[in-house]
Copies of this chain bind each other. A is one copy, B any other.
Amino acid sequence: MWIRNCWHVAAFADEVGAAILPRKFLNQAVVMWRAPDNSLVAMEDRCPHRLVPLSKGFLREGRLTCGYHGLAFDASGACVHAPGQTELPRVKAKTFPLVERDGLAWIWLGESDLADPALVPDVHWMKSPGWTVSRGYHHIKADYRLINDNLLDLSHETYVHKETIGNSAVADAPVVVVVEEGRVVRAHREMPNIDPPPFFAMLLNHTGKINRFQIAIHLPPGVNMTEAGVYKSDGRREDAFVIRVPHLITPETEHSAHYHWGVCRNFRHDDSELTEGIRKGTSHTFDEDKAMLEIQDAALRAEGMPDLPRAAIKVDVAPMRARKLLADFCRAETEDPRAVLRPAPLAYDDRVSWPPRG
């Protein structure tokens, strides 16, 4: 259950060019590299001659050269060299649109002519002067929809992340869920006057009571953002430490996904120790999610991927609404292969994305 006519995150932009980067998306093997003019190239990762992966080859004079018989391809996918002949063969490597935006490489796997860069979701917090980012990548051996579910039902923090960001306050706080414009899901939680979980105690350097709020935001098929704020219970909301965490999920196969993330903060920009501390802590936190998600996927596969129970409990409301949006968009694309998913804004200009606009 995938959407093709949309941009998916393929890599951090600086990963491409540092090496020839092979990666699979939606079951399509792709090799990414940087052309001499610095533009990004994404190509089907197989030589049209003998079908070996081009990523096993090498770059020479700005062309990707197959490591088996030496056929060479330029950024357009045209074959520009073949062994034992001067006339060029009429073979071509298939290419995919790949654009650089906000420090990320975004790939379009659907109809190429529909690939409008204006449709790239806005996650400018990942690379903006006003924001400092701790970023990372996880490979998750699970259906990407389970990752979306996980990000939209943060009550799991109490159980899965009890060492870092979870405690009983999260699971017990009521959640308000809205779907905006039929395109974005927001799930909001206020946790006033609670004991701070370890990560936030560290952030605030404070072990007394805090106020915490949390908004889980989701754009189908896989752009998520957690917006979170914490401040001392006797402090002011305007002074809250706010972080925005894009979680950018791209299916690799039916049972695996790429998970690029960044923890973006608008405070203490010069504190590189904090940047690294957040990176380490978040990476560890997502390791815990990864473990649980992979256990869940394996259990579901063992049973032939049954449908999950619908809204078994109240915290399921947000994930279930997101699944319904996804199913709607998938059906739309099945009915019209040229249907295009236009992303909604993840967050507003003002500081916190709740209450929703309008």
A positions within 8 Å CB-CB of B: 29, 46, 48-53, 56, 65-71, 82-85, 89, 91, 149, 153, 155-156, 158-160, 171-175, 292, 295-296, 299-300, 302-303, 306, 308-309, 312-316
Contact = CB atoms under 8 A, between A and B. Distances in A.
A214 to B, nearest CB: 13
A315 to B, nearest CB: 5
A159 B315 contact: no
Contacts of A158: 69-70, 83
B296 A50 contact: yes
Contact of A56 (B46, B69, B174, B295): B295
A174 to B, nearest CB: 6
Contacts of A153: 69
Contact of A83 (B48, B83, B84, B315): B315
Contacts of A71: 313
Contact of A172 (B67, B84, B312, B313): B84
Given A50-B308, A309-B91, A83 B171 contact: yes
A270 to B, nearest CB: 38
B299 A69 contact: no
A311 to B, nearest CB: 9
